[in-house]
Amino acid sequence: MAVIGVSTTHNSHPANVIYTKNHLRYPVKTYAVNPKGGLLNREPLYRQVEDIEGDVDMAVIAVRAQFVPGVVEQCIKKGVKGAVIISGGFSESGNHELQKKVTDIAEEADFPFVGPNCLGIYAPDVVDTFFLPGERIVRPKKGNIGFVSQSGGVLVDQMVKFAGQGIGISLGVSIGNKAVLREIDMIDWFENDLETRVIAFYVEGFARREGREFIRRAERCTKPIVVLKAGKSPKGMAAVSSHTASLAGDYRVFSEVMKQFCVAEAYNEYELTTFCEALSCYSKGIRGNVGIVSLSGGHGVLAADACSAHGINLPQITAQTIGKIRENLSMEIRQIASLTNPMDLTGSCVDGDIEISVRHLARDENIDCILTLLLPYSPGISADIGAKLSQVARNEGKPLIAYVPHEDKYKIIIEGFELNNIPVASSVEGAVLMAKALKRCRPC
């Protein structure tokens, strides 16, 4: 990787941050480029990218906007395979002609680039073109979420949220003004990427007629797609134009079309995080008929309200299922447990009671997904409950979603689920939103 625009006097320059971080912390061979040449921390400083010995896979361009066309031409002559253009000062600033000039040069040479006006790409353990100090970034683990964002700030903030929920990413891409590589290209790339299971987007707007093509391409994609669309309000639409020079379009129409073609629209950042976690575990959709197992009547009521608000059905449990569950419950709760939907096993239940309930609910033809609301401070619940319920779910073959308070002292329970690819929400509503994600991505 060549980082073009490295300063000889300002170590905090974006190009210097990118160069130093990758040179010291990542396996990618990194070269620094500055017209002055010389040395930078005892490493050669190349006058131009063409002076670098050997092949260059990617260039990171962080020079003033007016110099970008010439740098792109140098990269093409060198045979660089693609670029990230960090530099701003293009269409987002009204400088449409300069952006068109760079785009025309690149397209004529079939030279792909991300940006301009972006942070670029973050591939865990491989490369990081963000011009943010490494010690300030919260990095999610390696995972199966591919996330594409027009906003670099939203991408970085979402990475923090993913890390907090234990969600890993395969690749994060900030596309900025998306002059060449756009959302549709990202769908194509991620669909063929074996490490990606879910494709998520933060979208501000599209070029004319591009939204239609995005939906068509999303419909053909074999992987779940989650979209957080900005520019819902008149003020938001105006902000979109000034940020990345995109057309926000008619949000209501786009939202309805996403529902029609089973693209999961997240209405806010919390839903985006929750949807991604659920779909990273379960790629097949559900009808939306959920069975709830709770240790607290109050939590069951909260879940029922949330299901109603989000269009999730709570069907009746068959008499046969209720009979099998009741006859196998422990004597202490057999007569006091409420076996309607949601079920209330009470705080006196033990691991075996929850396992029995989940097992037989999974066999009920009216239920296609199970929410288990666990209160790990209940005396009869062991630290192994996560692993035990995960085994039941794997044996029965129906999606299981758990709610466990995200506290360090309950980490072993949470890990019991997560290590078995069972999503764990940190709130009751979060668990319901996970079921909503599976319903949104059902086959149309």
Per-residue confidence at 252, pLDDT binned at 50, 70, 90? confident
Task: Find all residues with CB under 8 Å of 331, minimum gap 6, and list them.
Answer: none
**Which tens digits make up the pLDDT trace of 157-189?**
999 999 988 899 999 999 999 999 999 999 999
Q: Return the structure tokens found at 34.
A: 């500055």
| Residues 437, 270 contacting (CB under 8 angstroms) | no
User: CA separation (Å) from 315 to 36, 297, 307?
Assistant: 72, 17, 11
Percentage with pLDDT > 70 across the chain = 95
Q: Do β-strands 264-266 and 225-229 pair in parallel, antiparallel, or remain unpaired?
A: parallel
What pLDDT, on the 0 to 100 scale, is given for residue 444? 45
The average pLDDT across 211-237 equals: 86
Could you give phi then psi for residue 19, rounded to 5 degrees?
Answer: -60, -50
Q: Pick the closest to residue 374 from 404, 410, 413, 343 (CA basis).
A: 404
DSSP class per residue in 331-343? TTTTTT-B-SSSE
Per-residue confidence at 235, pLDDT binned at 50, 70, 90? low
Q: Return the structure tokens found at 408.
A: 């360090």
CA distance 426 to 132: 29
pTM to 2 decimal places? 0.91
What pLDDT, on the 0 to 100 scale, is given for residue 104? 98
Q: Return the structure tokens found at 165.
A: 């929920």
Q: Homologous superfamily of 1-112 in CATH?
A: NAD(P)-binding Rossmann-like Domain (3.40.50.720)
CA distance 72 to 60: 10
Sheet of 424-425: strand order equals 343-344, 290-294, 369-373, 400-403, 424-425
Domain 138-281 carries which CATH code? Answer: 3.40.50.261
Q: Homologous superfamily of 285-440 in CATH?
A: Succinyl-CoA synthetase domains (3.40.50.261)
Q: How many CB atoms lie within 10 A of CB 39?
A: 10
Start and end residues for every CATH 3.40.50.261 domain found in the chain: 138-281, 285-440
